[in-house]
């Protein structure tokens, strides 16, 4: 279990992280969501130890992270970087060896990973000759090649085509299933929504919400329902405690507390057959908007 | 990938540095530019030696001389003369007039009972052979003539400067590229910054030393092939010292180049931060070359760490350094090298992850908390 306790960090006079605490559980895919400049990258760099916090600690299973243990982390930085002139497999082998694998072990891992990510035809090509999407996959391979105990990935899905997104999702889920805490940031809220078990929402250097996806939905989403009936649903507008969002003949989307919604269902049944009655779960984008209302750079977030 | 093998232990600092050094070497040795420039350099050195040998007349053809058989015993066998026997004075004179030979030795009056026939002037080499010269004892055999002295000084200086600037720039460029591509973040999540710096210095120093050793080998080969072995005995020991000083002196400069480059984040900005490092490399060279005949200046520069790698071997070559002097100078150089590496490591560790604007050296060295 990877934990952050009260991490603060400033650059000059600017406080970039303010008392950031959250947990990435073993075997859980945790999505790290926030606008540009919210502090995601700084947080990740601190977890990896490439940047020192001004306050707070990072622990794994309750113990502060030391140098040797950090070498067992896998990291994909925000700005992609590999040696442009090195061959792909050779490059991955080098990284694995830096993490302590012997030459054969490192080569074996590099080749297996290249195959898993569908890069085998490019195995001997210099990294710079790969397409952008393939460079992205190579970067993910670089984060995984030493079989890390903890995975921290900054925007692993940006620039990937849908097929590559599937492959990477699969690889990350596999790692989580093996018991590694996996933290990744993303602007693609739909991907985060589909993939992750837990969520951390950060804005202005502060954690605004953290927890399982379902908990966050309950806490921050508005309770909405969709109802489809035979007859006209116009009467719904007159029910107290109900706010109608959409209404078209027999179908309506409305916001109401759970008991009121049940009452609406009962009333609708009394008037005639009801085709459908569904609680609408709030999308991550809605939760995000709800949580990060005071985030000034919100408009830059790709929803 | 499904079964999780036991986690490997992270490499030690030394092993990590060796891995980094190995990558630096293999990736450079494979580039075409490195191979081509090394080949050009070696061919150039060889060509320079051969050309200078031809220019200095060491390879001029033997002077053809006709000798009348009856006096053949008078002429000692000497280098530089191609003698041919002729029957008598008439035949000898005919050979000279025809241009078959440059001169002829014929019976005549004089201490050796011979005369020399020539068209307009007698070849010096023949006159020397027929002259009794007194025994010469050289009191200072190591002192070389002015031309050789200048060439050797120039060669030591040039080789050191070219290597230092060439490989120094490579180190700088690699450092900035790593920063610019952010691979440095991945590397530093695996190994400490000091291992990265050490490996970089180690790898490039090995390459530079290898190249210099190759130049030295080619020079020796060239001197032997062109028959200038005598020069070889004169510069042999200084060349060995040069290689030793080069190794330490280059490490010193490599640390300066790496630390300087770590201050900026883009290749375009390297020029400015490398200025001091390049001056440190070039100024000693010019001082040594321009003051090679000024003993006090040369003595002083042979103790200054940045110029010692050139100045001390030159002094050894000129024969005006006592046996202990290179040892003292080398010790000074080694100590300053260690100090500079310590400072460079501090700068490098703290600035290699700072992206964006150029990092100020003072800021990095002063702030304990500047990352």
> Which contacts of B271-278 are long-range, i.e. CB under 8 A and separated by 24 or more positions?
B272/B358, B273/B358, B274/B168, B274/B169, B274/B172, B277/B168, B277/B172, B277/B253, B278/B165, B278/B168
Q: Who wins on pLDDT, B52 or B37?
A: B37
Instruction: Assess whether pLDDT exceeds 90 at residue B185.
Output: no
Assess whether pLDDT exceeds 90 at residue B281: no
Q: Model confidence at B254, in pLDDT bands (50, 70, 90)?
A: very high
CATH 3.40.50.300-classified regions of chain A: 2-217
pLDDT at A302 (0 to 100)? 40
| B149 vs B105: which has the higher pLDDT | B105
CATH superfamily, region A222-281: Malonyl-CoA ACP transacylase, ACP-binding (3.30.70.250)
Instruction: Compute the radius of gyration of chain B from its Cα atoms.
Output: 30
For residue A20, list its beta bridge partners. A7
Task: Give Cβ neighbours of residue B224 (< 8 Å, ≥ 6 apart).
Answer: B232
Q: Nearest CB to A82: which of B180, B183, B190?
A: B183
> ipTM > 0.95?
no
- Listed in order, the ranges of chain A carrying CATH 3.30.70.250 are 222-281
> In this complex, do B186 and A45 lie within 8 Å of one another by their Cβ atoms?
no
- A149–B10 CB contact, under 8 Å: no
- Residue pairs spanning A and B at CB distance below 8 A: 100
A236 has pLDDT over 50 = yes
- What integer pLDDT is reported at residue B137 of this predicted model? 67
Contacts of B189 (CB under 8 A, 6+ apart): A48, A49, A50, A70, A71, A73, A75
Token representation of residue B44: 């150039």
Chain B residue whose CA is closest to A174 = B2
| Cβ neighbours of A77 in B, within 8 Å | 182, 185-186
- Predicted TM-score (pTM) of the model is 0.74
What average pLDDT does range B231-236 have in this prediction?
73
Q: Cα–Cα distance between B190 and A154 in angstroms, integer?
A: 17
* Shortest alpha-carbon distance between residue A191 and chain B (Å): 25
Tell me the CATH class for A2-217: alpha beta
Residue A297 has pLDDT above 50, yes or no: no
* Inter-chain CB proximity A116 and B371 less than 8 Å: no
Hey, how many other C-beta atoms are within 10 angstroms of the C-beta on A91? 24
Beta-carbon separation of B371 and A71 below 8 A: no
Q: For the purposes of burial, counting CB atoms within 10 Å of the CB of A85, is it exposed (0-12), middle (13-18) or buried (19 or more)?
A: middle
Structure tokens at A301: 């977030």
Name which of A81, A84, A179 to mutate to probe chain B: the one with the most chain B Cβ atoms within 10 A of its Cβ: A81
Task: Check: CB of residue A1 under 8 Å from CB of residue A181.
Answer: yes
**Tokens for B255?**
């640390």
């Amino acid at each position: 279990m990877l934990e952050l306790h009260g991490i603060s960090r400033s650059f000059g006079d600017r406080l970039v992280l303010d008392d950031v605490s959250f947990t990435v559980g073993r075997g859980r895919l945790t999505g790290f969501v926030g606008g540009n400049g919210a502090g995601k990258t700084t947080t990740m760099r601190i977890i990896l130890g490439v940047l020192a916090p001004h306050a707070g600690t990072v622990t794994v299973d309750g113990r502060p992270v030391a140098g040797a243990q950090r070498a067992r982390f896998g990291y994909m930085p925000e700005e992609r970087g590999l040696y442009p002139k090195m061959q792909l497999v050779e490059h991955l082998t080098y990284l694995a060896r830096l993490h302590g694998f012997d030459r054969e072990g490192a080569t074996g891992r590099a080749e297996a990973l290249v195959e898993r990510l569908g890069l085998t035809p490019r195995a001997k090509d210099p990294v710079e000759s790969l397409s952008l999407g393939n460079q992205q996959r190579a970067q993910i391979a670089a984060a995984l090649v030493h079989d890390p105990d903890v995975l921290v990935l900054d925007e692993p899905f940006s620039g990937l085509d849908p097929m590559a997104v599937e492959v990477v999702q699969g690889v990350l889920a596999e790692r989580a299933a093996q018991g590694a805490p996996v933290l990744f940031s993303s602007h693609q809220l739909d991907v985060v929504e589909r993939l992750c078990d837990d969520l951390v929402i950060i804005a202005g250097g502060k954690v605004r919400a953290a927890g399982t996806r379902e908990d966050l939905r309950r806490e921050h989403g508005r309770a909405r329902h969709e109802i489809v009936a035979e007859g006209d649903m116009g009467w719904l507008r007159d029910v107290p405690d109900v706010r109608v969002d959409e209404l078209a003949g027999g179908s309506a989307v409305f916001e109401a507390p759970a008991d009121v919604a049940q009452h609406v269902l009962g009333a609708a049944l009394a008037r005639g057959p009801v085709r459908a009655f569904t609680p609408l779960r709030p999308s991550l984008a809605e939760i995000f908007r709800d949580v990060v209302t005071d985030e000034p750079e919100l408009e830059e977030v790709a929803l | 990938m499904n079964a999780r093998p036991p986690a490997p232990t992270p490499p030690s600092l030394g092993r990590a540095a060796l891995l980094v050094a190995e990558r630096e070497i293999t990736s450079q040795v494979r580039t075409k530019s490195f191979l081509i420039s090394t080949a050009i350099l070696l061919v150039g050195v060889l060509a320079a030696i051969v050309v200078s040998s031809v220019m200095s007349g060491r390879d001029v053809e033997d002077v053809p001389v006709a000798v009348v058989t009856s006096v053949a015993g008078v002429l000692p066998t000497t280098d530089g003369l191609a003698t041919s026997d002729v029957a008598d004075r008439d035949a000898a004179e005919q050979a000279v007039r025809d241009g078959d030979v440059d001169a002829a030795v014929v019976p005549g009056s004089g201490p050796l009972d011979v005369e020399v026939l020539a068209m307009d002037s007698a070849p010096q080499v023949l006159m020397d052979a027929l002259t009794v010269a007194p025994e010469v004892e050289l009191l200072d055999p190591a002192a070389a003539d002015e031309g050789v002295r200048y060439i050797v000084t120039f060669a030591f200086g040039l080789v050191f400067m070219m290597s230092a600037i060439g490989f120094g720039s490579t180190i700088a460029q690699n450092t900035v590229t790593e920063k610019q591509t952010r691979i440095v973040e991945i590397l530093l999540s695996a190994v400490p910054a000091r291992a990265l710096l050490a490996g970089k210095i180690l790898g490039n120093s090995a390459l530079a030393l290898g190249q210099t050793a190759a130049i030295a080998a080619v020079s020796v080969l060239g001197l032997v092939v062109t028959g200038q072995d005598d020069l070889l005995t004169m510069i042999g020991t200084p060349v060995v010292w040069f290689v030793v000083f080069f190794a330490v002196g280059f490490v010193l400069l490599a640390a300066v180049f790496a630390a300087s480059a770590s201050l900026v984040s883009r290749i375009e900005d390297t020029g400015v931060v490398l200025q001091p490092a390049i001056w440190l490399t070039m100024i000693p060279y010019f001082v040594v070359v321009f003051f090679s005949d000024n003993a006090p200046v040369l003595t002083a520069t042979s103790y200054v760490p940045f110029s010692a790698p050139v100045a001390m071997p030159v002094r050894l070559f000129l024969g005006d350094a006592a046996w202990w002097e290179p040892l003292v100078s080398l010790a000074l150089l080694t100590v300053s090298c260690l100090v500079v590496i310590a400072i460079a490591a501090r700068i490098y560790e703290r600035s290699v992850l700072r992206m964006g604007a150029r990092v100020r050296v003072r800021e990095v060295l002063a702030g304990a908390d500047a990352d």
